[in-house]
Structure 1
Amino acid sequence: MAQHNAPAAHGAHDSHDSHAGHDTHASFKSYAIGFILAVILTVIPFKLVMDGSMDKGTILWIILGMAAVQILVHLKYFLHLDTSSEQRSNVIALLFTALILVIVVAGSLWIMHNLNANMMVM
């Protein structure tokens, strides 16, 4: 009876090994690409601020744009989030977190604006 279970156990490991070969885990190449992109997306705004040759409003928009791109780089290359079915629950959790943050920040700004408007009555 023990001999009958041995091939089945071996077959189970084979199917597990083929799943382990799926590209869900990080590689050195992935981390290196992410690191290089993150450095580039940090150095460019830093250089623009240090030069000071552009309009401050333009620099601010460039910094915000590069920050948004850098968030995407971190999500893809370091956190390995993508649109695959294995990552669906992680992506949903991330989107829910972003929604809660937007609600908290927008609500806080709205409250502070109304407090400022109501306290400045003369």
Structure 2
Amino acid sequence: MSNQHAQSSMNGYTKGFIGSLVLTIIPFYFAATKMLPHAVTLVILFACAIVQVVVHLVYFLHMDRSEKGQWNLLSLVFTGIVVFILIAGSLWIMWNLNHNMMM
């Protein structure tokens, strides 16, 4: 690994860390101070959470428009599908067991 590549990689991780830190402090501040109505605080919390997921995907999991980033994205989508199938199948089986056992 070249020194320039290591430096650019470190810059990306630093930007991601600072972004994650800011996106954690903002909702924590609004939740702790209760200076805004509950509904507005929830909107801020969910907005920061969504942006933080994007920051993690881009800076730490390297989901970009490069060819390698597209393969990473495909792997993430496949993992999401498998997790969805496992959770949905488990819930379906448990619901049917509950329905059949309760008679």
TM over 0.5: yes
d(CA) in 2 for partners of 1:56, 1:99: 34
Q: Which runs of 5+ in 2 are unaligned?
A: 99-103
Is the Cα–Cα contact under 8 Å of residues 34 and 73 in structure 1 kept in the other structure?
yes
Return closer, same or farther for 1:61/1:46 CA change in 2, 3 Å cut-off. same
Q: Is it true that 1:75 corresponds to 2:57 in the alignment?
A: yes
Q: Is it true that 1:64 corresponds to 2:55 in the alignment?
A: no
Kindly tell me the number of residue pairs found equivalent between the two proteins.
93
Q: CA RMSD in A?
A: 3.3
Structure having the larger proportion of residues in helix: 2
Which has the larger Rg? 1
Is the Cα–Cα contact under 8 Å of residues 31 and 78 in structure 1 kept in the other structure?
yes
Return closer, same or farther for 1:86/1:43 CA change in 2, 3 Å cut-off. same
- Counterparts of 1:6-85 in structure 2, within 5 Å, are 27-85=9-67
Alignment-mate amino acid for residue 87 of structure 1: G
Return closer, same or farther for 1:102/1:68 CA change in 2, 3 Å cut-off. farther
- TM-score norm. by structure 1 comes to 0.59
Is the Cα–Cα contact under 8 Å of residues 81 and 91 in structure 1 kept in the other structure?
yes
| TM-superposed deviation, 1:44 | 0.3
| TM-superposed deviation, 1:87 | 2.5
d(CA) in 2 for partners of 1:87, 1:33: 18
Return closer, same or farther for 1:68/1:101 CA change in 2, 3 Å cut-off. farther
Matched-pair identity in %: 33
